[in-house]
Every structure is written in structure tokens, then in C-alpha cells.
Structure 1
Amino acid sequence: MNRRQSLLILGAIAAVPLLRSFGAPQAWAEGVDVDAILRNPDAPEAGNPKGDVTIVTYFDYNCPFCKKSEPDLKKVVRSDGKIRLVYKDWPILTEASVYGAQMALGAKYQGKYQIAHDALMAIPGRGISKDQMRDAVAASGVDMAKLQSDLDTHGDAITALMRRTQSQAEAIGLQGTPVYLVGPYKVAAALDADAFRKVVAQVRGSQGAK
């Protein structure tokens, strides 16, 4: 799928179906372990851990559309205060993307996943090299010696986590980045803050109607 073709007209949210329902949250698709997607203890999280809406973000550090939406996603999570955000490092574009995901997930062992993630997302453009990624993470304040040690020690666990993410993405039919799972819905598009708010409001409205 061409990621440009996945962009949705944000202003049409109220007029046409923006969201593609998985069905009941307990069974999004046959064979999919919903709890493994939403509650994997190894997956980095942000926002409110007890939030009433969960957003799961599948992204690649070389995806310009992921980077375009990132500031708006963070703004909405911060200002809303009741959103739980789950990160799914899904490096599908380049070999450097895999390297970036490994560094970010490795930084989690020193409590600096978010710092590394933010640094990688802030690199402009596409086709970001391994050297650019390493330099950005180093400049962010991550202890690079400890990072290397943690990668040596936990490399197999990090690889296993990314493979689980890949399997989950395939199971629910994801074809490119970015993708946001918002409550029971899938949004395969780069959204701005207003669009994120509208999706979250729709989820809360559907929850209140039950």
C-alpha cells in the first residue's frame, strides 16, 4: 500500500467513516490475542496507565508520516490526561529503521525509551542512516555505554518483541505505517491533533452508549 494513499481527509471525519472497526474488542480478528496487543508488559507506554482510552501506535523511525503525526499525538495525550499510549516499534522500511528500533527499545532498560524515541522521531526527512540515528540518541542524553551493554544482554528479548509486533501487525492486516489502534478502531493515516481528538471522542461516545 502506498502510504500517501493511506492518508485520509481529516475534515471528512464527521461525514464519512474514518474508522474501520475490528468488531468486538474481545475478538478483533480470529486468532488475534487482543490482550497481547494492548497489555504487553515489554511494550513501552506513555500517558495515563489507567486511561479510559488506549491508543496503540505502530510506527517506523524512517516514516515521514509517522513523524508528521507524532507531535500532535503527544500533544493530545498530554492535554487529555486520560489516554494510555502504547508504542509498537515496527521497523519495516529500512535496515536503519531496525537499528533505530533496537536502540530505542534498548534505552528502555535505563528508563530512557521516551527520550530515545523522541530523539529519533525528531530527525527530519526520510532515509535516515544508522549514523544519524546513533548521533541523535547519543545527543539526547542516553548513556551509550550502558545502551550497548543492554543491547548485548537483552538483544534476544528485543528481537523477540519486534517479531511479536510484526506477527500482530500481520494478524490484524496492517500494511504500512503509521497505524493507530484507538479503542476498537484502526486508523491508517497521519492525523493532526483535532483528528486524534475526534477519534478519541468517538471511542468514548461508543463506550458511553453501551
Structure 2
Amino acid sequence: MSRRLSAPVLATGLALGLTSGFGLTTPSVAQAMDLTELTDAERAQFRAEVRSYLMDNPEVIMEAVDQLQRREAEAQAEADHSLVSDNQEAIFNDGYSWVGGNPEGDITLVEFLDYRCGYCKKAHEEVAKLLETDGNIRLIVKEFPILGEQSMLASRFAVATKQVSGDDSYRALNDALMAFNGDITMESLRRLAKTFGLDFDAIAAKMDSEAVTREITETRELAQRLRISGTPTFVMQGEMLRGYLPYDQMRDLVDEKRG
């Protein structure tokens, strides 16, 4: 995502990086950090030098923005790595999240998802393809309903299905909910349950239980600690991946992790 820089920030950055081009001494650069300390004549000269340089070298602006974005990305990656390290047990071994793919796989991929999220639906197909073509990836699904009441209803039903009917039923329902495009209501969930031969009444009775609430609440608290505010969000080994990733990019990351 591009980022616009204000004139004072840009001017300061140029002053620091292009001192020799402007013919300023080190004390002058220090003063340029606070333009209020310059005289009117000095300020006008400084601005004229900046404008003249940029008009002659407009590519400098994009170079500066690119450099800033690289530094911010590096800082974000470092912060995310620390967050993952501090929360490893809750991320990879919480004892309740559904585990699919190859449970003994050498790469663990964790996904925070919402059934009403369009990009989660798109990512679902990419993840399924990755699991099918690789065969050595452990997938952990975190129910993270953040897009309203229908999202919460779907997640409660999915978690209750896992607790009542087991992992295979959860997997089938998870796939169905990701492919579902209508309104999520108790009646639409009843129809889905019937499709898979599930005991709808038993699952519905479990939806508001303490056990279901605890799973969703603990995952939400984990997401808050990891500073996750959107879906899908992935964790691959020790790296946080925020947002949708196409299959090819996930494939490359897996290869990179294996070295």
C-alpha cells in the first residue's frame, strides 16, 4: 500500500540524505529538522533548494517512499516474529482448534478465518490446493468471527459440530460454510446439517454452551495479542502472513521454510 509523505517530513528526509547537494553544513541540517528555527530567508532558500532538486530528480521521491516502505515492512515482520514466539503454545497447540492436512507435517500453517469473509472463501480454495499438492503440511483452523452476527452464528455452529460430531463432520461443515453464499440463519444451518446427516438439535443445543464460548473467546483473545484485526490471517512456522495469499505465493513460502 502506498503512503503519501507530508512536505515537512519529505523536506527533512531530503535534508538529511542530500546535504551535499544542497550545500548545507551539518549545523544547518540540524536546524532544518525544526523549520521554525530558521529565519524567513533561510526557510525560503531551503524550500527553493528542495523544490529545485526534486524538479530535476523526481525519481528521488519514489526511491525515498520505497525505502520507507521496506523499513516499515522489516519492522513489522520483526514485531510479528516476536508476537508469534511469545504465543507459540496458544497458536500451535491450543488443544481445541481443528487440525487437518498431515498432522505430522513438517510445516504448520495456521489460519484465522471468518465464514462471511470473501477473501477467506477465496483463500480456502488455495489452501485446499496446497494441502492436496504438498501432502506434508499441518493445517490448524482458528474460528475468528468478526463480521457480525451471522459470522458468530456460523462459528458457533461449526465449533459445536466439532464438539458433538467430531473432526470429520467439522471438516465437511467448514468446507460447506466456505462455499455458502446466502444468509446464515438457523434454518440454513439446519439444511446444511441435514445434508451431512448431522444431529441438528444436538448441535444447536451446544452452540451457546460454555465450552463453545470458551473456544471462540480464547481465539479472539489470542488474535488481540497477535494484533490481528482482519481475516484471513495466517501463521506459517514463525511468520505472520496478514491477508489473502494466492497458491503460488504460499507454495514459494513453504519451499522457503524448508530451505
After TM superposition, the score normalised by the length of structure 1 is 0.78
User: How far does residue 149 in structure 1 lie from its aligned partner after superposition?
Assistant: 4.0
Structure 2 letter corresponding to 1:57: E
What's the offset of the Cα at 1:192? 1.9
User: Bigger radius of gyration, 1 or 2?
Assistant: 2
Determine the structure 1 residue equivalent to 2:125. 71
Hey, what's the Cα distance between the residues in 1 that align with 2:198 and 2:134?
28
Deviations 1:115-154 (A, max 9, x none): 11111001137xx3324444334433322133234436xx
AA in 2 matched with 1:119: A
Aligned to 2:93: 39
2:232 corresponds to which letter in structure 1?
A: P
Local SS of the residue matching 2:81: coil
* Amino acid corresponding to residue 124 of structure 1 in structure 2: N
**Equivalent of residue 184 in structure 2, options 125, 129, 133:** 129
Gaps spanning 5+ residues in structure 2: where? Answer: 2-69
Is 1:23–2:78 an aligned residue pair? no
Q: Which of residues 197, 201, 204 in structure 2 aligns to 1:148?
A: 204
1:60 to partner: Cα distance? 0.3
Which residue, out of 167, 183, 190, partners 2:221?
Answer: 167
Aligned pairs for 1:164-203 within 5 A: 164-203=218-257
Structure-2 separation of matches of 1:151 and 1:176: 24
Query: CA separation of 1:52/1:142 partners in 2, compared to 1, >3 Å: closer, same or farther?
Result: same
TM-superposed CA distance for 1:191, in Å, is: 1.8
Q: Kindly tell me: are residues 45 and 160 of structure 1, through their superposed partners in 2, closer, same or farther at Cα, counting changes over 3 Å?
A: same
Higher relative contact order (CA 8 A, sep 6+): 1
Identity %: 30
Alignment partner for residue 105 of structure 1, among 159, 164, 171? 159
Q: Which blocks of at least 5 consecutive residues in structure 1 are unaligned?
A: 6-15, 206-210
CA distance in 1, matches of 2:243, 2:87: 24
TM-score, scaled relative to structure 2: 0.64
Residue matched to 1:208: none
